[in-house]
Structure 1
Amino acid sequence: MSAGRAAAAGVLVLVLGACASATDEPAAPTGEDRSPTSATSDSAPGGEKPPSALDDPAHPDFPDPLIDLDDLLPGGPPPNGIPSIDYPLFEPVAEVDWLDDDEPVLSLTIDGRTKAYPIRIMMWHEIVNDRLAGVPVAVTYCPLCNSGVAFERIVAGETTTFKVSGQLYADNLVMYDRLTESLWPQLTGRASVGALTGTRLESIPVGAVGWGQFRDEHPDARVLSRSTGHDRDYLTNPYVRYDDPDSEPLFALPADPDSRLPVKARVVGVGEGKDAVAVSRDVLADRGVQHVEVGRDRVVLWHAPGQVSALDAREIPDGAEIGSVAAFAAEVGGRALDFARAPDGTFRDRQTGSGWNLFGRAESGPLAGEQLTAVEHLDTFWFAWAAFQPGTRLVPGGRQTARTSRQRVGERLE
């Protein structure tokens, strides 16, 4: 057994042990900091539930699946063995004293309201069913892909909640909705097996940043509480050394890995299909700023120190420094802007010399107070991005032609 595969096997043992008692269901809390999901109907239109893809993914009543069912693999824990958080509680930023400055949190903003979802909690639950600015959202994190994604949890015109199916596709979290129990790979946001096959969720930009970075930018925001109703050690990482670049994914991928980068290389990906482009995180960290063309749109990516890996050390605060990344439309008010990293680590546009912070807000110069528009991006491992975006461009250079087998995977997901 290779060192990488042996390490992966050790991680699997830890994860299965951690999830073995994870079927406990919390009571619905009360109080103003609860984000209620009780308004959710979780009943199918017409009041009759279709067959469940959890029970029989090959049911003859289902549309043709978007993925090969042979590539839908059991991850170990059963459905709901990794329990979603359905009644989340939140704390004011000023009262949080249990996060280190460089610990990763997912930052989500809707209509000027912002919440933080610490990765130390997310990795044990993977899905938080929440509401923000009146919008029902599912905030998700897949540790095996290191991918944070947020969606509106509305399908077929109905608000629902999402759960962890226990299945994996390309080592990615497969969710299911309680409305129809269709299966949704996190990295597509599209029902791929079941009654709702082909239905796509509305995604919302979300990104991982260091806690100190979030706290300084959003002092009035709220933070997901450790009071989840579940007994977990939220300081520890059950996936120790999982992000070792010499290690391998835990389970078989649907096709041969794209060899342009090591499978566990960290990348930032934007766009999809023929417009998909990925930038190596190492390249981005070195340059600080990278402009990319995504179809007809121009996007700027940037990197700043201040975040550790949650998938490295046994205790998350001891993880290796990896920095934070962000993605924005490279314009304000229709005016195109070019950016560069300033000597002080902030970002400046060449057109006006205004200074911008990691969150896309101009802090100085003629454009002070302006806000760049966040762009959906994935801060993930290369194997995950390439599996779901098989025709992706890679910056800089690299072979641009994907293998036929990977193209077939991509076609099923289109």
Structure 2
Amino acid sequence: MHQEPAAALQQNNVEETAKGRRNKSYLFWAGFIFLLLPGLVHAYLLMPFPGSQNLNAITVSYYLEKIVLPIRILGGFLIVWYAIFYFKNNTTRNKISKATILGLGLVSFYFTDFKFSAERMFEEPQSVKFANFVNNSVPESAVIIGVVSNGVAKAYPLIYLGYHHKIQDNVGGQPVLVTYCTMCRSGRVYNPVINGKRQTFRLVGARHYNAVIEDDATKTWWYQANGKAAVGRLKGSRLQELPYEQSTLAAWINKHPGSLILQPDHHYTDGYNELKNYDRLQAVDKDSTLKNKDSLMRKSWVVGLVVNGQAKAYDWRRLFKKQLLNDDFNQANLLLILEKDSVTYHSFNRSVNGKVLHFDLNKSGQLTDKETASLWDWDGLSTSGVLKGNRLTKVQSYQEYWHSWRQFHPNTSFWE
């Protein structure tokens, strides 16, 4: 009596198997996976999703990007093939479920490859316009990246540069790649000429919370924070870094009254507004739950510099309170100082003509050395006294987040 139901069940299984063969659903699922999974993994690795940026996966990301398109073409072909020859064999329920799943997958594809791709999220300005101070629309209090070359000065406001991540420009005939990564708070200026040819760069995404850019000729990927080629044909090379200063626009114009100033592109007003106060407030200032505002956090600001191959970081909040610091590091005599606006900062070598000077601020807030009582301006030039006409040598320094400086300078020293 139990054999007949068992036989019927076996018959049903055979029919289901035959039906599955007629449907060949594996073609749909294989196509779906090929079409979407590589792109999702690629997007995950190159965008700041939870956990993704801590992985040492830039090489995987690089080569994955090279094969995403061929794999997607294969996936699309399998789905089209399935739709033409086998989709009709599905039940109504299966047709609806497969169509829904594919639709959701395509929505995901739109967000990962278009809506939230780095290139589209942080486009360069549609028009790069500059104005002199008379015709300028940028507030004097704005923080800028300032570049001088061949007697020409240009200022790039952080909130514009931070949104676009990079501006490809010329300063006094010198090609420049002016970059800023808001995830690292790292500004850098590079020479975009590689092997004698000027390159155009695109924004790839981010690794270790730092922007990654690619040159158009060799397709090499470069870290923005140090200009190092991480993967690609020129791996191990470095972009030539060009000097720059970070200050308020007012302080910059005081030194360079003829400077040209990057003007906002009205197409990106909303993006600029999202960075309002970015150049002023630290993360700890916004955190109402943090009792000790001097706590060193991932996004604490530091001033970092590299002397004779060794890196050192200075806690911005403590430097802010001190205003001026005479320091010795790796056989160099350093002076770090903030101007009265408490935003503009400078770093110099305080040795002049073989003599080490020690600096202080007088009662009027002027910079003076203790050895000769000479007065110095914020550009490192002695304006009066025994040393009048002498100039301090500038030391390139960077204001960025602690997590970024530590990531790209793992052996850094730290001053509190």
Q: What per-residue deviation string (whole Å, max 9, x for no partner) do you get for residues 288-330 of structure 1?
A: 2223344333322111232xxxxxxxxxxxxxxx522111222
Report how many residues are paired.
Answer: 306
TM-aligned CA distance change 1:87 to 1:178, over 3 Å: farther
Amino acid at match of 1:198: G
Q: What secondary structure is seen at the aligned counterpart in 2 of 1:94?
A: coil
Measure the CA separation in 1 of the matches of 2:259 and 2:234: 35
TM-aligned CA distance change 1:180 to 1:356, over 3 Å: same
Deviation at 1:176, TM superposition (A): 1.6
TM-aligned CA distance change 1:262 to 1:118, over 3 Å: same
Q: What per-residue deviation string (whole Å, max 9, x for no partner) do you get for residues 244-285 of structure 1?
A: 12889xxxxxxxxxxx92212111011179611111112212
Q: What secondary structure is seen at the aligned counterpart in 2 of 1:245?
A: helix
Contact 2:301/2:402, CA 8 A, preserved across alignment: yes
2:234 paired residue among 169, 172, 196: 196
Q: What secondary structure is seen at the aligned counterpart in 1 of 2:327?
A: strand
> In the alignment, which residue of structure 1 is the partner of 2:273?
236
1:302 paired residue among 309, 333, 337: 337
> In the alignment, which residue of structure 2 is the partner of 1:173?
211
Amino acid at match of 2:301: R
Contact 1:153/1:160, CA 8 A, preserved across alignment: yes
Measure the CA separation in 2 of the matches of 1:230 and 1:54: 31
Amino acid at match of 2:213: M
Amino acid at match of 2:269: R
Contact 1:113/1:221, CA 8 A, preserved across alignment: yes
Kindly indicate which of the two structures has a greater share of residues assigned to helix: 2
Deviates more, 1:327-336 or 1:346-355: 327-336
2:141 paired residue among 77, 99, 102: 102
Contact 2:187/2:225, CA 8 A, preserved across alignment: no
Measure the CA separation in 2 of the matches of 1:286 and 1:380: 18
Amino acid at match of 2:302: V
> In the alignment, which residue of structure 2 is the partner of 1:372?
392
User: Are 2:402 and 1:389 equivalent residues in the alignment?
Assistant: no
Measure the CA separation in 1 of the matches of 2:361 and 2:233: 48
> In the alignment, which residue of structure 1 is the partner of 2:359?
339
Measure the CA separation in 1 of the matches of 2:63 and 2:124: 19
Contact 1:84/1:164, CA 8 A, preserved across alignment: no
Contact 1:269/1:278, CA 8 A, preserved across alignment: yes
> In the alignment, which residue of structure 2 is the partner of 1:140?
179
When the two chains are superposed, the root-mean-square deviation of aligned CA atoms in Å is 3.3
Q: What per-residue deviation string (whole Å, max 9, x for no partner) do you get for residues 73-128 of structure 1?
A: 999433353123586332112221x2333221111122443211111211221111
Q: Which has the higher contact order (CA 8 A, sep 6+)?
A: 1
Q: TM-score, normalization: structure 1?
A: 0.65
Contact 1:269/1:379, CA 8 A, preserved across alignment: yes
Q: TM-score, normalization: structure 2?
A: 0.65
Amino acid at match of 2:296: L
Q: What secondary structure is seen at the aligned counterpart in 1 of 2:160?
A: helix
User: Are 2:162 and 1:127 equivalent residues in the alignment?
Assistant: no
> In the alignment, which residue of structure 2 is the partner of 1:39?
none
Measure the CA separation in 2 of the matches of 1:86 and 1:195: 30
TM-aligned CA distance change 1:76 to 1:346, over 3 Å: farther
Q: What per-residue deviation string (whole Å, max 9, x for no partner) do you get for residues 200-225 of structure 1?
A: 11112222211211122211111112
Deviates more, 1:368-377 or 1:233-242: 233-242
Measure the CA separation in 2 of the matches of 1:127 and 1:347: 34
Percent identity over the alignment?
24
Matches within 5 A, 1:211-222: 211-222=249-260
TM-aligned CA distance change 1:388 to 1:379, over 3 Å: same
TM-aligned CA distance change 1:147 to 1:344, over 3 Å: farther
Gapped regions of structure 2 (runs ≥ 5): 1-46, 48-59, 68-111, 288-294
Gapped regions of structure 1 (runs ≥ 5): 1-15, 17-51, 60-72, 249-259, 307-321, 397-414
Measure the CA separation in 2 of the matches of 1:177 and 1:342: 49
TM-aligned CA distance change 1:347 to 1:113, over 3 Å: same
User: Are 2:311 and 1:276 equivalent residues in the alignment?
Assistant: yes
> In the alignment, which residue of structure 2 is the partner of 1:152?
191
TM-aligned CA distance change 1:129 to 1:55, over 3 Å: farther
Deviation at 1:239, TM superposition (A): 7.0
Measure the CA separation in 1 of the matches of 2:267 and 2:122: 11
TM-aligned CA distance change 1:220 to 1:332, over 3 Å: farther
TM-aligned CA distance change 1:189 to 1:85, over 3 Å: farther
Q: What secondary structure is seen at the aligned counterpart in 2 of 1:391?
A: coil
User: Are 2:374 and 1:354 equivalent residues in the alignment?
Assistant: yes
> In the alignment, which residue of structure 2 is the partner of 1:70?
none
Contact 1:274/1:392, CA 8 A, preserved across alignment: no
1:185 paired residue among 200, 218, 223: 223
